[in-house]
Amino acid sequence: MEDLKELFEAIVDGNAGKSKALTAKALTEGVDPQEILNKYMIPAMDEVGRRFETNEYFVPELLIAARAMKGSLELIKPRLVASGAKPIGKVAIGTVKGDLHDIGKNLVAAMLEGGGFEIIDLGVDVTPDKFVKAVKEKGASIIALSALLTTTMPSMKTTIEGLKEAGVRNQVKVIIGGAPVTQKYADEIGADGYSDNASSAVALARKLSVGDN
């Protein structure tokens, strides 16, 4: 496990080469990908956030740490994704308008895919009309919204309003998440569910899909 502490440090330091090599090694040695993710990779991003808050890190450091995180995530992702089974439902996922954070969104997408959902990844800075299109044209049954900024949380509300205006709100379940988001906020804006992490997002999506198929 000594190596995995080094993985934490490699991500915090933004050393993408090292974090990727350590992740690959851990996977080869049979360490559980969930453990790598939950015990080392996500805490590393939390540490990066803490340093940003205390002005030890600035945006360039955030970016290089995020790049290291993404490199490791690419290796973990295939292990989270199950194969073969018929999709339980179709999830259109995106980070809402104005927001460029996608690490959490990508994790949730990977876990949902691993949990048996088909994923339509709309990316970042996604306008409400793109979510509407995903429902109308691609038959999404769940809309998953991610926001990491308090200033972009209102885009979640706007997206739900957009779905209502387009007359498709009752065809989909809306789930939301991201560091500043809360259950209270989900209730306020009329979302169908909220979860604070990628694993419970799968349970939530499953629960909401029961009876829909």
CB of 200 to ligand B12, least distance (A): 8
The mark string for 100-139 relative to ligand B12 (x by CB under 6 A, - otherwise) is: xxxxxx-xx-------------------------------
Q: Is 14 in the site for ligand B12 (CB under 6 A)?
A: no
Interface residue with ligand B12 among 180, 187, 188, 212 (CB under 6 A) is: 180
The DSSP symbol for 126 reads B
Task: Name beta bridge partners: 121.
Answer: 93
Q: Which is nearer to ligand B12, 30 or 152 (CB)?
A: 152
CB of 121 to ligand B12, least distance (A): 12
CB of 29 to ligand B12, least distance (A): 23
Q: Is 64 in the site for ligand B12 (CB under 6 A)?
A: no
Task: Identify whether the C-beta of residue 175 lies closer than 8 Å to the C-beta of residue 147.
Answer: no
108: which residues sit within 8 A by CB, 6+ positions away? 93, 144, 146, 177, 198, 201
**Per-residue tokens: 143:** 């809309």
Q: Is 88 in the site for ligand B12 (CB under 6 A)?
A: no
SS (H, E, C) 44-71: HHHHHHHHHHCCCCCHHHHHHHHHHHHH
Q: How far is CA 35 from CA 7, 32, 39, 179, in A?
A: 12, 5, 6, 20
Q: Is 27 in the site for ligand B12 (CB under 6 A)?
A: no
The H or E element spanning position 116 is none
Q: Which is nearer to ligand B12, 134 or 148 (CB)?
A: 148
Interface residue with ligand B12 among 22, 36, 48, 208 (CB under 6 A) is: 48
**Cβ neighbours around 197 below 10 Å, total:** 14
Q: With contacts defined by CB under 6 A, name the span among 24-32, 51-59, 156-164, 165-173 that binds ligand B12.
A: 51-59
Q: Is 162 in the site for ligand B12 (CB under 6 A)?
A: no
**Per-residue tokens: 130:** 């793109």
Q: Which residues bind ligand B12 (CB under 6 A)?
A: 42, 45-46, 48-49, 52-53, 59, 62-63, 66, 98-105, 107-108, 144-146, 148-151, 175-180, 195-198, 201
